[in-house]
Every structure is written in structure tokens, then in C-alpha cells.
Chains A and B, each alone.
Chain A
Amino acid sequence: MWKDCLKCDRVWVFVGGIAAAVIGKKVLKSPKTREVCVKTVAQAMKLHQDAQTTFANIKEEAEDICFDAKQEAAAACDCQQ
């Protein structure tokens, strides 16, 4: 009967699941994992803020270019008149 059990895939999946849960709990609770997670989240937050800064910089520089273009167009109109 035991041999039959060992041949059954579902049993192995069940045992594997329990092992994964036990190991996973250990890993998650370890200080090293916590440290890695904190660092990863901090990196992601920094990345998010940097992306926002870059986006703001791009937008402002584009605004400045548009302003210059408008000024030039206005000056050209004045010259034609």
C-alpha cells in the first residue's frame, strides 16, 4: 500500500506543497530575506521617484522649447508687419 502511495503523483504534490510551505515560511521569516525585500521595495520607490523627476524634467524642457518657438513665431509676425 505504501508503495502504491509513493507511486501516486498527488501524494508527491501534497508533500512538495507542505515542504514548500515550511521552507517558504523559514525563508520569509529570515532577516536576510527581510533585508532583501526592504532594499528591493526602496529601490522600486526610488525608481518611481526618479521616473517622476525625469518625467517632470522632460515636460519642463519641452515647455521651454515651445515657449521659445512661440516667441520666435511672434517675433517673425512682428517683422512681417
Chain B
Amino acid sequence: MRYQIRYDGPGRLRLRLGQYAFTREEGFGIAALLRRRPGVLAVRTCCKNGSVLIMYDGAGKKEDYLSFVGGLRRCQIPQVEPTGEEDVQSIDLMFQEKITAMIAKRLAEQLLLPVPLRMLRTGLRAAPFLWHGLKSLSKGRVNVSVLDAAAITASLWQGSFRSASSIMFLLSLSDVLEDYTKKRTTSALSASLAVHIDTVWKITGQGEVQVPLAEVEPGDQIRIRTGAMIPVDGKICQGEALVNEASMTGEPLPARKAEGDMVYAGTIIEEGSVAVEVMARNDQTRISRIMDMIERSEELKAGVQSKAERLADRIVPYHLLGALAVYLFTRNAVKTLAVLTVDYSCAIKLSTPIAVISAMREAAGHRMMVKGGRYLEAFAEADTIVFDKTGTLTEACPQVSRVVAFGDFQRDEVLRTAACLEEHFPHSVAKAIVKKAFEEGLRHEERHAEVTYVVAHGIASQLEGEKVIIGSPHFVFEDEGVPLTAEDQAKLAGVEGEDSAVYLAVGGRLAGAVFIHDPVREEAAEVITGLRRLGIKNVILLTGDGEAAAKSACRRLGIDHYLARVLPEEKAAKVERLKAEGRKVIMVGDGINDSPALSAAHVSVAMKDASDLAREVADIALLSADLWELLTLRRLSMALMERISGNYRKILWLNTAFLLLGLGGVIQPSVSALCHNASTVAISAGSMRPLLEERAKKEA
């Protein structure tokens, strides 16, 4: 392709290939190809003048880019969908062009068009507004369309074509702005989710690294585990899994896929873990998944958002009645028009969803996936937080502290058998036991039959004809009825400390106990103090562990209430009880056993290493490993609620002021319409500003 160098500065090169050199999609394709060259930081293309802007660092070579662009053939350029950032830029550009064109057209009309033609044009432009107003009225709805139609009709009736034209121009401008603000906010949220949330584990020489899916290229290898959706088309290069392909084939039963088999984007791994060599990145599936999530999140509107919409709709009839009253008392059409051109509902309806979507985008930027606006509202209003202990308040890497054998069983045999059973399940405690056995050089061959996992209880199997079970004391002693002799009790009393224990029984006899030391997270105490400072009155710990472990954790973290040895359904019941007491409850958990409690709470949070079920059930999923994000979330949600109420106040005061100024005859109806629309846009644009930054400034 032929080009001209239009700018050549340090780290910045602008080439121009000429008008019609490439289409919009080909432009994104050129950008994608150039981004793969070494040293390229960013590329921007514009199809209107065929410009390609390349920004590069020290590692980049200008000559390389020039020869690459020079060597391009149009037929080789792929047609590519825009990345999130490119999409946001296109929306900005389209908006700028639209607004410029609208203003230029209006100026040209005013300067060049003869008065009769201008009047005719105003009449023609008024028709759709009047039609919408009448349509709403015929359906018995008194909404903003009726208000707009009334304002335009009043102006035309008065013979003020100029004023009618101004009102219509401002209304159109406001529509464009509204459309732009919504599109941009949604697109920015989508881009943010694609970068921060839509990530995969890429297998590299240094191990597994989490990267945005958009950065994955054909030939890369990615790791996909149980419960996850396969994000690409590819070939299994290691591992085996049961893959549910119902989304593709309609077949409900999962298919077994092993090394060499193909897997497709959108299918789900029901069991197993595989490394997949990427053959094609199915962007459409990925993008539609993000868009689905955003659409779903719009359905899960915050209560305050729905309230705002209802309030906005309810105001309109009173507004019309007000205008009628003004006309009846004053007989002044200008003053009536001033009332009609200012309304409260536009700003309320527009600014609230924008504030909510912006907050969700900000949360995504902090690697938190909020599934709907209502959850941010619930998080801000909550006064009680319930924590699960293991994996939530404690590190996700517990360690075996002691192994105790009972009766005639040997310590090593207890550890070996425990590891042999536990190695089938990727739970953090199971991993700790397997690791300990490995460190001690205890080899465990598969001598047992198939293992059964009993959620939140333990594991059962057969070993040399005898039933072998491992799990919580509730599972071993109560459910399975393994006797605990006085001798065993005495031995246990001597060793039981703050660590939690997993019990092993063989043939109905207690064989041993493996004690797990699970240290609390470093930041946990500070986070809990911070949450209290931010208005959380009750902090409660729920755990399946023993009394001693729960008590010790509470003492260290400053938690006042705890429930030890609780079963999953008891956790949910506790949450329900708290709700019945009138408390607004946040539940934070990570395991499959937390899922009932997570769904019972007003708002639930799943930790980074949570099970897929917990992440699916939870309303908010954290993608960073620490608890600090809970404080960020609380601050963000509180700032959002403050912003929404602040917006209401601004809308009320500003529009009332414009209305009074219009009534007093200080400003003309067209000026009050301009002020009203400008304030709506300003408040909505203000709702897009980062919340946390503003709150930090206030706190400082």
C-alpha cells in the first residue's frame, strides 16, 4: 500500500494512505496486525482519510512499521471487530461528528433559508413530536413525549416558530447526547469487563499466567478447569474432561474429551481440567457473553433506579397540570411555555442508570464483577456481614500441622490413606494433606474403589473390603456413627488446639486425625475494622470447623459473634434469621457449601479462589486475592448512593430555578429549555466521573 508520512516524532508516526484506502473494519484489522509488531504501544486508524497512527516505544523500529505498511495488500487485510477501546473511540468520534453536523445544519438554516421555508421546515419537524405525544395520550400515558408535544404546540400556537424550532433542536440534541452517554457507558463497561474480568489462564514457561482473553493468540495454550466455559475453539493438548456441548449440539449428556480432541467456544467443562491449544478465538461468543451479562445487569436494576423511573413518570402529569394552572391564572403563553420546557424527569431518568453503570465499570476496573446495580445498592445499605472462615478469612493455603493415629493404626498409614482419598478433590484442605504426604515421601497407590464426595462433609470409599471415610467430625461421628472411645477422647483432648481437624475412619473405627493449620489472612483484621468504620454494625463468622478454631479466629480478628461446626443449610438458616431480624446482610464465602447462604443473603460476595458454583450464585465476584476489595466495594457503593441523591438535589434545585426564572419572565422559554437540557447533560456527564477518587478526596 502507498502511504505518505504525515508526522514523524519520537515514538509517534502518522501515515496517510488516502481516502477510501481501507474500510472501518479493515482499519481495525491493520491496527490488530500492527499491534503484534515489536515495540508498538497503540495504533489508531481512521478510514475517512486512511490515516494510521502508530505509537511505539524504544523497542520499536520505524523502518519496520513503514516496510510492513508498504508491503500490505488490501486483500490480505483482515476485517476485524473493534476492541473495547476502539469501540469507545468510535462512539466518541461518531458523537462529535453528529453534534458538529447538527450545529452546522442549524446555523446554515438560520443564515441561508428564507423565512417562509424556515417556517415550513419547523412545521414539518414538529410533526413527529406531535405524533409521539398524541400516540402516548391515546394509550392513556401522560409522559415526557406529551410534555414535549405540548411545549411545541404552545410555541406554534403562539406563532413563535423560532422558539418551537429551538425547543426541537434542543430536544434532538438532548436525544443524541442521551444516546451517546448510554452507549459510551455501556461500551466502556464492556471494554472494562473484557480486560479485567474476561480473563484466561495462559500456560507459559513460567507457569500459568492470567491474561485478558483478547490477548490470547492461536497457538497459545490455556488451562480450563471444572465448571468453566471454554472461551476458544481449540485442541486438547493435555488432560481429560467431561464437556457439556448442549449449547452447540443440544445433547444434554456431557462428552468425554481427551488429548487430541477438539473443543469449541461456548461449551462447558463439567468435570476435569484440560490444557487447550488455541486454534481460533471466538470473539463473537465472547463479546455476546459480555453483552448478555450487561443486559442481565440492566434487568437487575438498583431499587433506586426503578424508583427514579417511577418518580420521573409520576411527575409529568403534575407538571402539565402546573402549566395549565399558570395559563389559567396568568393568561400568559410565554410563562406557560417556560413551565413546559423545563422538566425534572429527563435528568432523573438519564443520570441514575448512568451513575449505576459507571459504578459497575469502576468495580470491574478493580477486578470485581458486580452482576447488577441492585447489588451495589444492597452493599451500601448493609449493616451486617457474615464471613465463611476457611478460604475467605483465612489464607487459601492451609498446612497440615499434626497427624494423630488412634488404636493400632500407624501415623504414616493414616496420612498415606488420607492423601490417597483426598487427592481426587481440588479442595484447599485436600491439597494440604496430599502435599504433606508428598513431602514426607509417602507414596500412595490407588488401592481403594471409586470415591464419593459428600458436599461439605467428606469423602467415602472402599479399601481392601472395608469402608473408609474421611471428613468433618459431624460426618464421621454423627452421620457415619463411628464410635469415639474414652481413650480416643482423652488423646484428642491432649492434642486439640486452635487447628481444625479432619478425621479418618476405616471399617467403622477411628483411624486418625489430620490437623490443619489455616492462618487468617494478614489484612483480615484491618478490613473488618475498616468495615465497622464504614457502618457495618455486626460481623459474624460461620464455620464448619470446631469451636476452638472459630474462637481463636474471632479473637484475632475482633469478631463478636460466631457459629462453629455449622452445616451448609445451617449457614443459610442463620442468614435467613438475620434477615428476619430486619438486618441487611452481606455474605462472603468461597466454597460449594457456602452457596445456600450466598443465595439467601441480600447481597453475596465470592472470593477469588471460590468454587465455580459459589461464583455463579454470588452477586459479586472478586477477582483479586485479598479482602481489601470489600472495603473498596463498600466505599464505591456508598459513593454511588451519595451521588444519586446528590443528583436528585441538583436536578430539583436547578430545574426549579429555571422554572421560576421563566415564570418571572427573566428568561425566555428557549433559554430555559437550553438551560434545562444543558443541566441534564452536565449532571449525566458528571455521573460518569470516578466515584472512588471523589470519595477519597472527601475523606481526605
Residues of A participating in the B interface, judged by any CB pair closer than 8 Å: 49-50, 52-53, 55-57, 60-61, 64, 67-68, 71
Contact = CB atoms under 8 A, between A and B. Distances in A.
Contacts of B51: 56-57, 60
Contacts of A53: 19, 48-49
Interface string B5-16: 011011010100
A56 B46 contact: yes
Contacts of A67: 9, 12
Contacts of A56: 46, 48-49, 51
Nearest to A58: B49
B97 interface: yes
12 contacts: A49-B19, A50-B19, A53-B48, A56-B46, A56-B49, A57-B51, A60-B49, A60-B53, A61-B6, A64-B9, A64-B12, A64-B14
B9 A71 contact: yes
B6 A71 contact: no
Q: Summarize B's interface: helix, strand, loop or mixed.
A: strand
Contacts of B6: 60-61, 64
Nearest to B104: A51
A71 B14 CA distance: 16
Contacts of A71: 9-10
Contacts of A52: 48, 97
A34 to B, nearest CB: 25
Contacts of B12: 64, 67
A29 B48 CA distance: 36
A57 B48 CA distance: 9
A58 to B, nearest CB: 10
Nearest to B46: A56
Q: Summarize A's interface: helix, strand, loop or mixed.
A: helix
A65 to B, nearest CB: 9
A68 B97 CA distance: 25
Contacts of A49: 19, 48
Contacts of A68: 9
B86 to A, nearest CB: 16
Given A60-B46, A60-B51, A71-B10, 20 more contacts: A49-B19, A49-B48, A50-B19, A52-B97, A53-B19, A53-B49, A55-B97, A55-B100, A56-B46, A56-B51, A57-B49, A60-B6, A60-B14, A60-B49, A60-B53, A64-B9, A64-B12, A64-B14, A67-B9, A68-B9
Given A56-B46, A56-B48, A56-B49, A64 B19 contact: no
Contacts of B46: 56, 60
Interface in B1-48: 6-7, 9-10, 12, 14, 19, 46, 48
Interface in B81-115: 97, 100
A68 B49 CA distance: 21
A44 to B, nearest CB: 14
**Which 7 A-B pairs give the minimum distances between C-beta atoms?**
A56-B49, A56-B48, A64-B7, A53-B49, A52-B48, A53-B19, A57-B49
B11 to A, nearest CB: 9
A56 B93 CA distance: 10
A13 B100 CA distance: 43
A54 to B, nearest CB: 8
Contacts of B9: 64, 67-68, 71
Nearest to B19: A53
A68 B14 CA distance: 13
A46 to B, nearest CB: 10
A64 B16 CA distance: 13
Contacts of B14: 60, 64
Nearest to B51: A60
B6 to A, nearest CB: 7
Nearest to A65: B7
A68 B100 CA distance: 26
A68 B8 CA distance: 10
A57 B10 CA distance: 21
Among A50, A53, A68, max chain B CB count under 10 A is at A53
A45 to B, nearest CB: 13
B8 to A, nearest CB: 10
A69 to B, nearest CB: 11
A11 to B, nearest CB: 25
B181 to A, nearest CB: 22
A64 B15 CA distance: 12
B542 to A, nearest CB: 55
